[in-house]
Structure formats: structure tokens, C-alpha cells
Chain A
Amino acid sequence: MQMPAPDARILARKAQIVARLRTVLPETAVISELAETRAYECDALTAYRCPPLCVVLPGSTEDVSAVLRICHEEGVPVVPRGSGTSLAGGALPTADAVILGVARMTEVLETDYTNRVIRVQTGRTNLSVSGAVAEEDFFYAPDPSSQLACAIAGNIAMNSGGAHCLKYGVTTNNLLGVTLVLMDGTVVELGGAHLDAPGLDLLGVICGSEGQLGVVTEASLRILRKPEGARPVLMGFDSNEVAGACVSDIIKAGVLPVAIEFMDRPCIEACEAFAHAGYPMCEALLIVEVEGSPDEIDEQLALILAIARRHDPVELREARDADEAGRIWLGRKSAFGAMGQINDYMCLDGTIPVTALPEVLRRIAGLSEEFGLKVANVFHAGDGNMHPLILFDANTPGQLELCEAFGAEILKLCVEVGGCLTGEHGVGIEKRDLMSVQYAPADLEAQMAVKDVFDPRWLLNPAKVFPLDVSEPRRSVALAAE
């Protein structure tokens, strides 16, 4: 994965740039020593690292505005960072970039149960947003796996999803407003507790723009009353096709589970060895969770189980209590840890039409043999969001590259069957060069035109999302203007 060469003129001015940033931020909020900036050299895509020019940790929207104004004047690229949990390299810096971390901006600014909205600073973690309203039995719905650590800022940048978005939607469906700071320091307010935009839906395009259009410092988020209860059921099948057909039938029947999770045999085996959840050894396993009162849950599960029985399951296991529910989820929730114990892995998140599931799984198995790398599949089946985990050994020369090539083939396959490269992780650098597989030049041109409007000099997170050769003319024009 290539990154642009750092601008030597910026590197040469480091001391001056750091000094200017120190005029607007407290001493401890500007980090420039290499020993300390190393902590910011990568995000959760750890294969790629580069210490930044320096790191700033502002405490308010005003701070962010002051920092961006300086960076804009100095022509320094800025890489916004939430908690650094991006799997796509969204927060990977270059040596000439300032990392703008929002980690110190964690305040809850307003909690409004009447209008069901909470306003927070975006450095606050996803889980602690729900934590702030748990007392009144409310919650914030999007629940990415990293929710203990990931920040709302990053959730907004990547339009994060989670296991329960089949019912509740992803970040963009739960985001009501933002305070956005543009690269030149201009502060823009969009949305709020009211719904819909007065004009163009700028909020809609900010969400998922990977920190390339502005820095979101505050967010109004929809909060929901917690359901009375939830209960999962586990089903085992002897083929992926049958499990896929069962998913499709459940959806068609009019039940709307909060989650339908799918695991294939390699994944079941690894999770079982790791977590001993008592999973049946079969080809495909579904975990379906529904919500409501105990009676409502009974009714929905009866319907779901009746559908499942028509597909000759090898196992049907209903949770009778919280302990059994916990055991059903245990293996699924340990999936990534289980893989990590076996080997290094790369996690993809291409999305496909649900109906293409069996074909895609079959062809991934074929590619796995071709590349000689094992792959385990665990994913959100209800919405077709795949999570193939490719196992490789980072210490064996050439394996990372082989794994990346395999991953690229899987993502091309997702696009070929009518899907997309990424369902919830974002493009970052990881899928940047594959964008041309999904989009024609005119499609990418239209997206880049949006960045031209918000960040005319292409200083915000410039080397992400668009293939480097495609964005090069814009980035170099901006550079030449310095």
C-alpha cells in the first residue's frame, strides 16, 4: 500500500509549525517528540505505520478551529483521529501530517429524553454514549464490535454499523446533527434535534466521508428506549446454501430480527477451540436475535424456528435464560480473538445481496485453495455484510502481500455479484486502490468534486478513499499552490 512521499518543505518547517500550534493549545496538547508520536503511527490496520509530524489533542470546537486555521495557512495536511480503531487505515498519517485527535473531547453536552437525543463531543466512545443514558433505560443503537474503544468521531467518519443494524440502521440513520469544522477553521452547524435538512442533505454526505470534508467535533445522536428484552436462538445447518436460504426466508416472513449472524465451519471450529461455547460442529451456524416482551419473543422465535425446521437444521437451540443467551453469543463475540490466537488475520467487510450468499461463499472457498490461505467467514447475514477473515503469517515474507491479493479478489467478487467493497469499515487506504473496481471514473470524479467544495486544497486526510493516481492531479495542484 503506497502513501505519497512527505513534503520536504513541511518537514523542514516542523519546529515553526509546532511552535505556532503551541500558541493556541496548552503545552500538553501538542506532541512532537518521536518517542511520543509513535503512539499515533498507525490505527488498527497495523501493517502500515508512519509517525506523524506532530499530534494535537484539542479540547473544544474552538481549539479545533484554531488548529485547522493554522494548518490551513501553513499548508500542512491534517489526519483526523478518533480512537484509532480503524481497520481500514483511516487514521494512518504521513510524515508531513498533523494528527488531530479528538480523544480529549469526551463531554456529554446535553441529554434530552423528551426529544430522544443526546449531544456529545465526538471523542466520546460509542459504548459510553449508551452508558450516559442507560440509567433512563435508553441506548444509542449503532454497535460496532469495537464499541468499547471506538469514538463517535470515527463512527461518523466511517458511517459505522454493527451487529444490530438490521433493525436499527447504521450511524447515518441515527445521526441528527453535527458541529463541523472545515479545513480553513470555519465552524458549521448542521441539523440538531429536528429532522431533515432545510436544503441539501449535507449531514448525509458528511457521515461516511472518512474525515476528508471536515472535523466533526460535536454530534447530536438519536437515542432509543431499550426494548423490554432480547433473546437469541442458535441454528446449525449442513450447508451454507441451506443456511443462506433460511436467512432469506426469515426476512421474507416479515419478522425483523435485530441480528442475524452467520458463521461457517472454519469459523465455528476456531471459535469452539477458543471459547468452548458448545457450538455444534456443522457447516454453517446462524444466531438470530429478536426483541420485545417475553411473550413477543416467544411468538417471533416460534415463527423463526418453524422456518428453520423447514430447512432440516442439524441443531436448534433456544436460550432459556440469560446464561444460555450468553453462551450462544460467546463464540460469535470471540471470533476475532479466536482467529488472532491461530494466526495473523485480515478482516474484510464487503457487502453482497443476501441472495448471492451461497455463491459467494463457494467461490471464496475456491479462492482459498488457489491462494493457499485459510479463510473463515463470520458476518451479519441479514444485511449481507460479509466478514471474511483471511489467516496468514506476517513473519513469513510475502504472506502479507499474498493475503492482500486474496482479499482484493474477494472484494472484486463482492462487486461482481452486485455488492460493494466495504459495508461498515470504510475505504481508508486498505480499499483505496480498489475503488476503480466499483466505480467508473465519472463516479469518482463526482465524489472528489464534493471534497473540492469542502476542502479545496485537499489538506484533510488527502491520501485516503480515492486511488492515489486518481486523486494525484488534485493533490499536486494543491501542493504546487503552497
Chain B
Amino acid sequence: MRPESEAELAAEIAGAEGPLLIRGGGTRGVGAVAGTVLETGGLAGITLYEPGALTLVARAGTPLAEVEAALAAEGQRLAFEPPDLRGLLGRSGDSTLGGVVAANASGPRRIAAGACRDFLLGVRFVDGRGQVVRNGGRVMKNVTGYDLVKLMAGACGTLGVLSEVSLKVLPRPEVSATLVLHGLDDRAAVAALARGLGSPYEVTGAAHDPGAGDGPRSYLRIEGFARSVAYRMERLRGLFADVAAEVVEGEGPWPGLRDVAPFHGRAGAVWRLSVTPSEAPALAARLGAEALLYDWGGGLVWALLPEGVDARARLGVFRGHATLLRGAGCAAFHPEPAPVAALSAGLRQRFDPRGILNPGLMTS
């Protein structure tokens, strides 16, 4: 199925007789679902872009690349820095804006600017009964009724199939610079990242790669107007006077960190941990991973483990959650505590009473 309009999408879903596998570009979905493929690529095109209002509205199947090009032409961007996971997951195809939203795909800048869900102003979607629903809008502040916008971000299509999304966009900064700290072990690195993030210098990226070629490297990014970046970078560097470091101008390592490039081409299962940043090194040590990559000041840990190893069993009880992004043998999504699972199940039952939208994707 490849509907060309929202009305067609609604009719397809209303008339569906079995499970549907919802697909944007097929570049970032995780977990396995059997069903008839429903592609959103036919619902494409930017419907409104007002640079002066920092707002973009586009149909869900619009290629991400098209959106990013349109924004770049006006000196703007998606500040949440959506990752390109094709290299990590071994996929091809073109990421769609709806897929980004459905996965709440957010990169290194999430720690400072917010996630995709924080930039999502409005949605139109078709629920599991084929009913078109609109929530939010295209203005920056909106508390009119319940925020189903947040609920749809990251719901992986299980509550409805997105047909249109509106996003807040931001100006692209004049310059970007990265402080690279050398030789810190994981614990010292995460502490250094916390120190940078807790400074007044507006750090917009804080990552640590223990396996970089010449030894561990930790990264702190600053963005903005040239003079301001120069000033803040000097002050930030001063916080780590006793650490070997250099400053890299430009986008530097961030596209690679965003896309988990150090894991590309390596065999094994890929796990993604969301944890309390300061607890990350100790938790990561429990994993016995073949490779690790820390982002979000330690709050996001990428781990490469042998296939079939249950990372959750190794982690034990911890504050946060672990998602299996690539690999088999475990549920992709972290099991939720009973009362939370009951609420989530209740919502799915209401929005998709026949259980046909990516059934079981997030719960098995």
C-alpha cells in the first residue's frame, strides 16, 4: 500500500483486514512486525515554510534530505540533529520526516536543544480505525487541549500513521567548534562532560569515544557567532587545563558521533541505553561490551555486544532503559513497569482497537 493522500491513507487503514507494517523510508525502524507494508512515501511535500516564524510543515513521507535542503537554503536547520542510522543498521533508502518523528530520532544536540518531540508543533495522523486526527498546530506555544503531539513522537506508528507534521526550526549558527580532550577514562570523561554541560558556555554536544584510534577522545561542542564561540571556547578550555586537548573548527566529529560511525561495519548486536549520565560508566562496565560510545554527556550509551546477549540481564535494575537497535533474541523495547504498561496498552487499545498498526512492535 502506498497512499497518495491523507484521504487515501484513511481509506486504506479503515479497510485493512490484517496487520500493517508502517514504513517511511525504512531506514531507522527497529523490531520486527509481520504484515502488509504501508508506505508513507506517497504523502510527500513541504506544505508551508515560514523562515521568519521558524516554522515548517510537511507531509509525513517527505524525504528528510528535501527538508534539510530547504532549511539550509534559508540558513536554518532541524536543531535536534536527526541521526542517519543507515550505516549502523545496514539499511538503504531515504529517511522521511514522518519516520524521524515516529522514532523521535534525536542526535547529540538533544542534550541542549531538546529532542525531536520538543520541536514538534503539530501532527495530523490517521488512527487504527481510519479516523483522521489533528493535534497541536504550527505555533510555538500551544496548550490547547492534551498534547497528543508528544504522544505521537516516538510511538513508532503504533497509535496512528502520521500524515503531516509541523516543526519548529532554528537558525544555523555562524560557526561551530569542538574541544577534544584526550586520554580520559570513561569515568573521568563523563565527569568532564558534566563539567562542560554545567558551565555557562552553552555546550551543545558532549560525547566520549573510548575506542578512538589514538586513545580515548572526549568532545564538547560550542556553536554561535564567531566572536562568542571563540570567547566561550577559551573559557571552556580553561576548565580542563590539566588535560591534553585541542580545538577543532567546523562540524568536526559530530556527524560520525550522531550516526554511531565507530560501530559501522562491525558485527554484533547494537544496544542503546538511556541512563542517568553520571551512572553511565558504571552501568556500561556491567555490559562487558566490545565497543562503547557515550553521547548526551553520558545519558546515551551505545554498546556493541555479541549477538544473543541480553544486555538488560547484565545491567540488572537501573534507572533508565535499554533498546535493542540491531540484533535478535531480545525484545527491542525495554519492558515497562506494570502500571505504565497498562496505561500504554490502554492507549493503544483506544487509538488502534483492532491492533493493526505495527502490532506488538513496542511490546514484544
**Residues of A near any B CB (own CB < 8 A):** 112-116, 137-138, 158-159, 161, 165-166, 169-170, 172-173, 182, 186-190, 192-205, 207-209, 225-228, 248-249, 251-256, 292-293, 295-296, 299-300, 303, 351-355, 380, 382-385, 418-427, 431, 435, 438-440, 442-447, 449-454, 465
Instruction: Identify 23 residue pairs between A and B in the complex whose beta-carbon atoms are under 8 Å apart, listed by A's number.
Output: A116-B198, A187-B339, A188-B337, A188-B340, A190-B340, A195-B111, A195-B274, A198-B334, A200-B154, A200-B159, A201-B155, A205-B151, A251-B54, A296-B231, A299-B225, A351-B141, A353-B138, A427-B145, A442-B132, A443-B135, A446-B135, A452-B346, A452-B350
Cα A120 to Cα B194 with chains together (Å): 22
The reply on B347 being an interface residue by CB < 8 A is: yes
Contact in complex: A115, B50 (CB < 8 Å): no
In whole Å, how far is B268's beta carbon from the nearest beta carbon of chain A?
A: 22
> Given contacts A204-B150, A418-B137, is CB(A194)–CB(B319) below 8 Å?
yes
Known contacts A196-B104, A200-B159; A353 and B333 CB within 8 A of each other: no
Any chain A CB within 8 A of the CB of B8?
no
User: Are A199's CB and B200's CB within 8 A?
Assistant: no
A222 to B: closest C-beta gap in Å: 10
Cβ contact of B141, chosen from A227, A255, A385, cutoff 8 A: A385
Smallest CB gap from A202: residue in B: B343
The interface residues of chain B lying within 8 Å CB-to-CB of A182 are: 339
Q: Which residues of B contact A293 (CB under 8 A)?
A: 228, 231-232
Q: A192-B276, A201-B155 are in contact. Are A353 and B340 (CB under 8 A)?
A: no
Given A422-B144, A423-B143, A449-B347, 17 more A-B residue pairs with CB atoms under 8 Å apart are: A113-B198, A182-B339, A194-B275, A196-B154, A198-B323, A199-B341, A202-B151, A204-B150, A205-B147, A228-B200, A255-B171, A296-B227, A296-B231, A300-B228, A383-B139, A421-B144, A446-B131
- Interface 9-mer from B86-94, B112-120, B245-253, B256-264: B112-120
Verify if B308 is at the interface (C-beta below 8 Å from A): no
Residues from chain B with a CB closer than 8 A to the CB of A352 are 139
Distance in Å: Cβ of A229 to nearest Cβ of chain B = 9
Question: Is B171 within 8 A of A252, CB to CB?
Answer: yes
From known contacts A169-B118, A300-B225, infer whether A193 and B141 are also in contact, taking CB-CB under 8 Å.
no
Residues on B with C-beta less than 8 A from A207 are 147, 150
Instruction: Report if B299 contacts A (CB, 8 A).
Output: yes
- Chain B residues close to A by CB (< 8 Å): 50-55, 74-75, 104, 106, 110-111, 114-115, 117-118, 127, 131-135, 137-151, 153-155, 158-159, 170-174, 191, 194, 197-200, 225, 227-228, 231-232, 274-278, 296, 299-300, 319-321, 323, 333-334, 336-337, 339-341, 343-344, 346-347, 349-351, 362-363
Whether A253 and B141, one on each chain, are in contact in the complex, defined by CB atoms closer than 8 angstroms, is: no
**A114 with B198, Cβ < 8 A, contacts A199-B344, A208-B143, A385-B140 known:** yes
5 tightest A-B contacts by CB? A204-B150, A383-B140, A254-B171, A198-B321, A423-B141
CA A444 – CA B194 in complex, angstroms? 43
* A384 B139 Cβ-Cβ under 8 A: yes
Assess the B171–A420 pair: CB atoms within 8 A.
Answer: no
Residue of A nearest to B298 (CB): A115
Give the most central of A114, A195, A383: most B CB within 10 Å. A195
Say yes or no: A454-B53 contact (C-beta < 8 A), given A173-B118, A353-B139, A447-B148. no
Known: A190-B340, A201-B104. A450 touches B146 (CB 8 A): yes
Contact of A170 with B147 in the complex, beta carbons under 8 Å? no
Contacts of B346 in A (CB 8 A): 452-454
- Which residues of B lie under 8 Å from residue A188 when comparing CB positions? 337, 339-340, 343
Q: With the chains together, A293 CA to B115 CA distance in Å?
A: 27
Residues of B within 8 A of A303 (CB): 225
Q: How far is the CB of A415 from chain B (nearest CB, A)?
A: 9
Cβ–Cβ contact A355 & B150, under 8 A: no
Residues of B within 8 Å of A425, CB to CB, are 143
Contact call A454/B343, Cβ cutoff below 8 A: yes
Kindly report which residue of chain B lies nearest to residue A160, judged by CB atoms. B143
Q: A115-B194, A254-B172, A442-B132 are in contact. Are A465 and B145 (CB under 8 A)?
A: yes
Using CB atoms, name the residue of chain A closest to B273.
A194
Establish whether residues B336 and A199, one from each chain, have CB atoms under 8 Å apart when the complex forms.
Answer: yes
Interface centre among B127, B143, B155, B278 (most CB of A within 10 A): B143
Residue of B nearest to A411 (CB): B144
A27 to B132, CA, bound (A): 51
Are the C-beta atoms of B139 and A419 separated by less than 8 Å? yes
Chain B: CB-nearest residue to A421: B144
On chain A, the residues within 8 Å of B197 by CB distance are: 116
The distance in angstroms between the C-alpha atoms of A115 and B362, with both chains bound, is: 28
Bound-state CA distance A166–B277 (Å) is 27
B40 → A minimal CB distance (Å): 19
A254–B174 CB distance below 8 A? yes
Q: Are A161 and B141 in contact (CB-based, < 8 A)?
A: yes
A186 and B339 form a contact (CB under 8 A): yes
Q: Is the CB–CB distance between B151 and A200 below 8 Å?
A: yes
A254-B172, A419-B139 known; A198-B336 Cβ under 8 A: yes
The docked-state distance in angstroms from the alpha carbon of A421 to that of B141 is 10
Alpha-carbon distance A170/B149, docked complex (angstroms) = 15
Beta-carbon contact of A195 and B299 below 8 Å: yes
B274–A196 CB distance below 8 A = yes
A422 touches B153 (CB 8 A): no
Check B319 against A192 for contact (C-beta < 8 Å).
yes
Closest to A166 in B: B140
Contacts of B110 in A (CB 8 A): 195
A423 to B143, CA, bound (A): 5
Q: CA of A393 to CA of B333 in the docked complex: distance in angstroms?
A: 58
Q: Contact check: which of A186, A292, A419 meets B228 at CB < 8 Å? A: A292
Q: Is the CB of B132 within 8 A of A426?
A: no
CA distance A203 to B150 in the complex (A): 8
**A440:B333 contact, CB within 8 angstroms:** no
Bound-state CA distance A113–B111 (Å) is: 15
Select B200's contact among A190, A227, A424, beta carbons within 8 Å: A227
Contacts of A158 in B (CB 8 A): 143
Complex contact A444–B139 (CB within 8 A):
no
Q: Report how far A81 CA is from B343 CA in the complex, Å.
A: 24
Determine if B54 and A435 form an interchain contact, defined as CB atoms under 8 angstroms apart.
no
Closest B residue to A303 using CB positions:
B225
A447 contacts B145, C-beta separation under 8 Å: yes
Nearest Cβ in chain A — how far from B247, in angstroms? 18
Q: Which residues of A contact B141 (CB under 8 A)?
A: 161, 165, 170, 351, 380, 383-385, 423-424
Docked-complex contact B155 and A200, CB < 8 angstroms: yes
Among B132, B133, B144, B343, the most chain A Cβ lie within 10 Å of the Cβ of B144
- For B174, list chain A residues within 8 Å (CB): 254
- Distance (Å) between the CB of A167 and the closest chain B CB? 10
